[in-house]
Structure 1
Amino acid sequence: MHRGIQRMRSAVAVLASLAVVAALAGCGRQADDSSNNESVGKTTIDSKPAKEELTIWAMGAEGDKLPSLIKDFEKDNPDVHIKVTSIPWSSTHDKLQTSIAAGQEPDVAQMGNTFMAEFGNAFDEVPANLDLSDLAPGAVDGAKVKGKQLGVPWYIDIRVLFYRTDIARKAGWDHGPRTWDELRRMAQDMQKQDGVQYGMYIGPSGTDNFGGLSPFKFSAGGNLCNEDCSKWTIDTPEAHKAITFTSNLFKDKIADANADVSPGADIASFASGKTPMMMQGPTGIGQVEQVGGKDITNKFATSPIPKDKSAISYSGGCEMVVFKNSKNKNAAWKLVQWLSKPKVQVKWYKLSTDLPASEKAWEDPILKGDDKLAAFATQMKNMRSVPAVTTWTQVSSQGDKIMEEINKGAVSVDEGLSKLQSAADAAGMGK
C-alpha cells in the first residue's frame, strides 16, 4: 500500500494542476511577436561544472519534492547554488504573466504543456547540443512552438485503458480490448455482470471533456490541426468516425450520459465495480489502490488505447524551460540536461511517481517490473499532445460544451462538429 499512498498524494496535486491548466492556459497575456529574439538558439552547453546561482520555479507537489533531488546536482557542481520556489498551480498563470511583463523571470521553470504557446516568446530555444534522442518523441514534439524547440520534457502524463480483470474474467475476457470493436463488446459483456451499472466510464461533460476524447480522433487517423498548425481540423471524416463511436456508447447506455464528473468520481465508480473500464493517467493507479483498499491491486490492469487505424493517446505532462532573460543560461541548461538523464528521471519517479520522459529510464527494474506501468511504456511510443497555440484553451472550452451536447443527444455529431469548427475558425490560431 506504500506505493498506492505515495501515488495518491501525487495524484491530488496533479489532478488539481491539470484542472487549473485547462481553465487558465488561454487567459491573460498573449504571445508578443515583438519580443527580442536575439538570444534564441545561441546558448551552447559546455562540459565544465555549472557555476553561479540559479532560480527555478516548480509547481504544486513537484515544487515540494524537487529540492531533495536538486541536492545531487549541487554535489556534482559545488560552485552552483540553486533556489527552488514552489508555486501553487492556482497562482502559476498570474505569476508567470506578471514576472514576464516585469522582466523578473526565474532562470528555469516547470511549464505545463498548455502554457508553452502563450508564454513561448519568453523562453530560450533549446541548445542544439542538448541531446533529446532519449526522450519520448511525442513529448519532445509537445514542447515545440511554431517549429522551435522551447522546452525539454520532464515528465509525461498519458491516457491508457484501465479495466477490472475480475469482472472481465466473469464476462469471458482474459485481456484488455485491442480494437474499438472489442472495446464496445467487452464493455457490453461486463455490463451484464452483477453489480455493474455501465460498461465504461467516459466523461460526458465538464472541463477537458473534449481533450479527453482526442485519443479516439487520433486513433482514427485525425488531428486537431493541420501539419503546420495553421488551421483547425475539427470537422473531418476522422472526427466524425471517432465522435460517432463515443456518442453511440452514450446513446446505447453503455456509458452514462449523466455520469458524475466531479474529481475522483470515475475512480470511485471503477473501484466499486459499478463501471469496470475507464481511460486514466498514471496517477489513476495510486488513486484506485487508495480508494479500493488492499484487495483492489490484483483486480485491475491497464492496457494501451484500443486501436482503429492506430492507437494514439493524449500526451500531457510538463517541460523544463529556460528564460531568455536569464543571466545564467549555460548553467540553467546544464541543470535541465541533468534532469533529463535516465538515472535522474528514475530517482525523480521514486520521489514523485511522475512518469519519466526518458525511454532508457523505463529499463530500470522499478519501472520495468511494474505490470501496471507496462501499458504506459507501450503507449509512450504512440502519443500526441494538443496543439501548441495560444487559442487552444478557448477552442477546448467550446469543445467541452459542444461535446456535452452531442453526448447527451441535444445535437447530432454533424451539427456539433460543424459548430465547433466554426468556433475554432473564429478563434484562429493565435499569434
Structure 2
Amino acid sequence: MRLRLAAAAALAVTMTACAPSTSAPATTASGGGPTTGALKVWLFDEPNRAPKEAVVKEAITEFTAAHPETSVEVQYIPVDTRSERFKGAFNDPASAPDVVEYGNTDLPEYAVAGGLADVGPVVSGWSEGADLAADAKASATYQGTLLGVPWYLGVRALYYRTDVFTELGLKPPATLAELATTAKTVRARKPEMFGVAVGGKYTFGALPFVWANGGDITSIDSAQSRAGLTAYTGLIAADNCPPQNCADLTGGKTVELFASGKAAMGILGNFNRAAVDAGAAKGEYAVVPLPGLTAGSVAPAFAGGNNLGIMKNAQRPALAADFLTLLAGKKYQTKMYDAMGNLPTLKSASAEVAAKDAFVKPFIDTIDAGTRFVPLDPGWGKIDASAVLPTMIQKVATGKATVDEATTEAAKLIDEALKK
C-alpha cells in the first residue's frame, strides 16, 4: 500500500492475521458473469481522498460509457480495518466485491486464504500487460500465480541538503562507505546536525544495507547480512546519529528530522516529498539513488505499493477484468501520479512521469536497478508484527547485543515464523 502520504508511514504495510481456514487455490478471473449491473469495487481510503477519488470517477465515466447498463459502486475502506473486511468477504461470497485494492505485503495472507483470483490470463490478454515492470509483477505473484496487477509503487532514495553540501564542499556519496564518511564529516563540522538520519526502528532504511552486501531477511545471520547490519548500525553512533537520539527512531521520525533541517541526509521515499517541502528543507535539497557498495551501483530498495486484484468470489469477473485493466493502464497510472504522487508500475508510464518531473528520476532509477521485497510467506506477518528486525537493530545500536548475537536470535525467530 502506499508508503507515502499516509503520514509518511514507512512503506511497509503492516499485516494482521486475516486468513480464514480456507486454502483452496484461486480460480482464474478471465471472463464470465453478467455484463450489466453494478460492479463492486473496494479501494483504500486516504487522508486526502479527493484527488484519488477524482481520478477514479474519471475512469468510471470512461468505463460506463463503454459498458452500457453498467454502474460502478466504489467503497473506500479504512486501511486499519481492511483485514477484517477482506476476511468477511473471503468467507461470505454474497458480500464480496469484484475488484479490490490491497497492499502488496498483504499478498501471502490473502493468497493462503484463497480469496484472490488468478489474473494471469487477464494480464496476458491485456495490451499493456507486457509493459509491467518485472519486480513489481513479482511482488504480486504467489507461488507462481499472478494474483494482482501492481498499481503503484513507493521506493526510497537518498535526500541530501544541497546548501549544507555546498557550504562544506561535499559531493553526494557514491558508495555506502562514502555515505558514512560524509555523514561523519557533516556531524563533525556542524554538530547541531545529524549527518544522515537513521533509526533503530527504521526497517526499510536498514534493509538496503543488508541487500547491498548480498544478505537477505531469510539469511539474516549470514556473513553478508551481518556486514550490512554492521554498516547500518555503525551510523547510529555519536559521530552521526547518537543512540540516545536515534535508536528509537521510526521511518516517519527520520523524515521529520530531515524535513525540519536537523539532518543533512535521509533515506526517504518519493511519497515523503510533501512532508519535506512543508519543512525547513524546502528548496534546499536534492535526491540521488542510495548508492551500493561500488561507485555507480544502487542499493536495492524495498518496493512497497498497492495491487489491484479480482476476488475469487467476484460476481462479474469479465467486467472486473475490464475495469481493472482500465484503472491500471498507463492513462490512469499517470493521472494517479499527478494526483497522488504514486510511482507507476508500467515502464512507459514511468518514463512519461520522469520526463515531466525531474524529482522522480532517482526513484525510477532505483526501481530500474532492481528492488527487493519481504518474504512472500504468510509468516512475514508474524515477523513484522513481532518487530523482529527493529528489535535486532536496536539491540546492536544500544550495545545490548553484538551483531552476531542479535542476528542469531533474529534468524531463529524468522525461521520459526517461516517454518524453514
Cα distance, 1:92–1:423 mapped onto 2, change above 3 Å:
same
Task: Give the partner amino acid of 1:89.
Answer: V
Q: Distance in 1 between matches of 2:21 and 2:134?
A: 25
Cα distance, 1:239–1:157 mapped onto 2, change above 3 Å:
same
Q: Offset at 1:357?
A: 1.2
Map residues 114-263 of structure 1 onto 2, 5 A cutoff: 114-120=105-111, 121-128=114-121, 129=124, 130=126, 131-174=128-171, 176-194=172-190, 196-205=192-201, 209-224=202-217, 232-251=218-237, 253-257=239-243, 258-259=245-246, 261=249
Q: Offset at 1:195?
A: 6.1
Which residue matches 2:44?
Answer: 59
Q: Distance in 1 between matches of 2:181 and 2:371?
A: 25
Q: Which moved more, 1:308-317 or 1:403-412?
A: 308-317
Task: Give CA deviations for 1:246-284 in whole Å, capped at 9, x if unaligned.
Answer: 111124531232326367532332133321111111121
Q: Distance in 1 between matches of 2:28 and 2:396?
A: 45
Q: Distance in 2 between matches of 1:243 and 1:319?
A: 30
Q: Distance in 1 between matches of 2:7 and 2:134?
A: 22
Cα distance, 1:245–1:394 mapped onto 2, change above 3 Å:
same
Q: 2:381 aligns with which of 389, 393, 411?
A: 393
Q: Offset at 1:18?
A: 5.1
Q: 1:305 aligns with which of 285, 290, 296?
A: 290
Task: Give the partner amino acid of 1:376.
Answer: F
Task: Give the partner amino acid of 1:406.
Answer: V
Alignment of 1:374 with 2:367, yes or no, is: no
Task: Give the partner amino acid of 2:375.
Answer: P
Task: Give the partner amino acid of 1:200.
Answer: V
Alignment of 1:105 with 2:96, yes or no, is: yes
Which residue matches 1:349?
Answer: 337
Q: Offset at 1:301?
A: 0.8
Q: 2:261·2:279 contact (CA, 8 Å) conserved in 1? A: no
Q: 2:322 aligns with which of 334, 340, 351?
A: 334
Q: Distance in 1 between matches of 2:260 and 2:410?
A: 36
Cα distance, 1:57–1:112 mapped onto 2, change above 3 Å:
same
Q: 1:30·1:118 contact (CA, 8 Å) conserved in 2? A: no
TM-score, structure 1 normalization: 0.85
Aligned-pair RMSD on alpha carbons?
A: 2.7
Q: 1:57·1:63 contact (CA, 8 Å) conserved in 2? A: no
Which residue matches 2:268?
Answer: 280
Q: Which moved more, 1:212-221 or 1:124-133?
A: 124-133
Alignment of 1:41 with 2:18, yes or no, is: no
Task: Give the partner amino acid of 1:136.
Answer: A
Cα distance, 1:267–1:16 mapped onto 2, change above 3 Å:
closer
- In the alignment of these two chains, the number of paired residues is 399
Cα distance, 1:168–1:84 mapped onto 2, change above 3 Å:
same
Cα distance, 1:31–1:177 mapped onto 2, change above 3 Å:
farther
Q: Distance in 2 between matches of 1:236 and 1:402?
A: 14
Task: Give the partner amino acid of 2:414.
Answer: A
Map residues 61-76 of structure 1 onto 2, 5 A cutoff: 61=46, 65-66=52-53, 67-70=56-59, 71-76=61-66
Q: 1:338·1:344 contact (CA, 8 Å) conserved in 2? A: yes
Q: Distance in 1 between matches of 2:343 and 2:205?
A: 19
Q: 2:104·2:306 contact (CA, 8 Å) conserved in 1? A: yes
Any stretches of 5+ residues in structure 2 without a counterpart? Answer: none
Q: Offset at 1:17?
A: 8.7
Task: Give CA deviations for 1:161-217 in whole Å, capped at 9, x if unaligned.
Answer: 11111111122224x222111111221222234464211111213xxx334321112
Q: Which moved more, 1:256-265 or 1:235-244?
A: 256-265
Q: Offset at 1:326?
A: 0.7
- Matched-pair identity in %: 25
Task: Give the partner amino acid of 2:318.
Answer: N
Q: Distance in 2 between matches of 1:283 and 1:96?
A: 26
Task: Give the partner amino acid of 1:268.
Answer: E
Q: 2:9·2:252 contact (CA, 8 Å) conserved in 1? A: no
Q: Distance in 2 between matches of 1:251 and 1:276?
A: 15
